[in-house]
Amino acid sequence: MDIDSAVDLLNKNEKAVLSAVSSSPKFVSEVSEGLGIDRNAVLNAARKLFAGGLVRLTGEIRISYALSELGKRYLKDGLPEQLIFDNISKSGEASYSDLAKLRLDKDELNAGIGVLRRAGSIKVTNDVIRINNADSEPIRLKNALLARIADGSTVTETDDLKDMVKRKIIEKTEIVKDRVEITQEGLKALKSPNFSRESIDKLTTESIKDWKGREFREYDIDAKPPSPLSGKRHITKTFVSIIKDALVSMGFTEMQSNYAESSFWNFDVMMFRQDHPDRDIQDTVYIGGAEAKVPRDVLGRVKSVYENGFETSRNNRSIGYMAEFDEKKSRVLIMRGHTTATTFRYIRDHISKNKDSPAKFFSVGKVFRNETPDQTHLPEFYQVEGVVYDDNLNISHLIGYIKEFYSRIGMSKIRLKPTYNPYTEPSLEVQAFSKKLNKWIEVGNSGVFRPETLHPFGLDKNLVAWGFGLDRMLMVRLGLLDIRDVYGAFADLDLLRSVETSKLFGEQ
């Protein structure tokens, strides 16, 4: 852009600031005072001029000193060293208990004595303090310094000054000043014939009414506006909606249950051994002070399968754990560690009550584990759970559902690996490929429920089910290295503000 057109883009404030610094560099506050315009307006104008290369902005640090409340009191009543010195001077010596009568607290007394000792003005032997050098000049200089600071005179940074800053008698502040200095381009702009051309700066009702024959300031239509910050839905919430939509479109119905759960629904019903390490305080969040209510009938049947197994046919039988089942452990109240607790509540309330109808349920909900947060773990995270009940289901159906679900949310690149679960057999771990990280990441776990877990509900058909870690899936979709970038105190706000929802759509 040539200089004349650049000048056409300047508004009144910008022109005024440029003229103000034409003969010598000035601080923003000086320009503001000189022109009678607000400091921020000057700063904005200066920044615009800077962006156009018409001025340079340089920071300069100015140090200023002022008396603290303590300093003001000392200026009036005397510094501790002064009071102590005067007191001892009267008789040439004093004891600590004599000095205790001065209106000084312990710290002030010690500071004062320390200062006088280091200056060689006094000598302390045992409890007796004597004058060593009767010259009161050093104290007089300090008083003078306090007085200079009080009346705003300039001072140099002497040892006395540093000492009094340390003792909080004097406050030191550093102020950064913005200095505006005109450039060669800026000088050319001032000389441009367009500089003094009268033009209408702002569109107002008045200026629009009376516009004929008048000139308007040009607008730079290529200028980037500042991006306003506004409220935004957290990316996780959008991901939750996408996942729910996919499952609903596959014919699933949503299930829900509470965060607080009994160990019975979280563990026992799934035949976790009662001494299973998952029940450890390290992994489970316990709620103290109350016991959970557990339905008697289901509890009795689970206990019986646990202890003695069952047999409905040669192909559907188990010997159980042949170990004692402790009902007290079932009533221990915890925060649910997986949404499979919810699945089993639905198995009792819906599936076992309509044994002849196929059923497909899902849930997306929070679960809690007593974990220290790290790159891939959070103590509180979302699980995507699904369960299917129908005739003749087997592991191929499970694989089919998992693949279909992942392809519907645009994450087709997944693989399955055999794994172990106390309540499913066979069991499959689900891994998704992260393009950004160029590696496979575990995103979930699944399987066919063991007959022992279904017998207490009178079910003998296969049920296939899964639990996926929604946050892990989010990491893959967004290419995150650290899950804490999106949650908690160290979340990356710029990322959360700028991340585009479109990242969650389409094939990843």
User: What residue ranges bind ligand PHE (CB under 6 A)?
Assistant: 338, 340, 421, 424, 445-447, 465-467
Q: Closest approach of Cβ 28 to ligand PHE, in Å?
A: 59
Identity of the residue, 77 or 283, whose beta carbon is nearer to ligand PHE in the bound complex: 283
Closest to ligand PHE by CB, 138 vs 373, is 373
Determine the Cα–Cα distance for residues 173 and 333; give it in Å rounded to an integer.
56
Q: Kindly report the number of other CB atoms within 10 A of residue 245's CB atom.
A: 12
> CB burial class (10 A; 0-12, 13-18, 19+) of residue 192?
middle
**Angle at CA of residue 133, ends 127 and 139, nearest 5°:** 95
Smallest distance, Å, CB 493 to ligand PHE? 30
CB 55 within 8 A of CB 21: yes
Bridging pattern class, strands 359-368 and 253-254: parallel
* Token duo for residue 112: 């004062």
Residue in 265, 266, 276 with CA at minimum distance from that of residue 299: 265
- 13 or 383: whose CB is closer to ligand PHE? 383
How many helices (H) and strands (E) would you count in the chain? 21, 18
Contact by Cβ (8 Å): 417, 429: yes
CB atoms within 10 A of CB 360: 15
CA distance 55 to 61: 19
CB of 175 to ligand PHE, least distance (A): 57
**Which two three-digit tokens encode residue 436?**
């950004």
| Nearest-approach distance from CB 223 to ligand PHE, in angstroms | 52
Of 148 and 350, the one with the shorter C-beta distance to ligand PHE is 350
Distance CA 163, CA 161 (A): 5
**Which is closer to ligand PHE, CB of 121 or CB of 266?**
266
**Min separation Cβ 446 and ligand PHE, Å:** 5
| Residue 370 C-beta: closest distance to ligand PHE, Å | 14
> What are the structure tokens assigned to 165, written together?
């800053």
Nearest CB to ligand PHE, comparing residues 84 and 384: 384
Q: How far is the CB of 436 from ligand PHE (least distance, A)?
A: 24
Q: Which residue has the tokens 């979280």?
A: 266
- Min CB(228)–ligand PHE separation in Å: 41
Radius of gyration of the chain (CA): 39
Q: Whose Cβ is closer to ligand PHE: residue 82's or residue 257's?
A: 257
Closer to ligand PHE by Cβ: residue 302 or 464: 464
Which CB sits closer to ligand PHE, 138 or 422?
Answer: 422
Q: Which residue is nearest to ligand PHE (CB)?
A: 467
Considering beta carbons, is residue 387 or 478 the nearer one to ligand PHE?
387
Shortest distance (Å) from residue 386 CB to ligand PHE: 8
CB of residue 254 vs ligand PHE: minimum separation in angstroms?
16
For residue 441, what are the CA distances in angstroms to 101, 380, 406, 438?
74, 19, 14, 10
- Quote the CA–CA distance of 67 and 170 in Å, as a whole number: 5
80 versus 447: smaller Cβ distance to ligand PHE: 447
Q: Are 146 and 68 in contact (CB under 8 A)?
A: no
Q: At closest approach, how far in Å is the CB of 260 from ligand PHE?
A: 17
Helices (H), 59-168: 69-77, 80-91, 96-99, 106-118, 137-150, 159-166
Helix (H) or strand (E) holding 58: strand 55-67
Beta-carbon-side half-sphere exposure of residue 13 (alpha carbons within 13 Å): 18
Alpha carbon distance 15, 18 (integer Å): 5
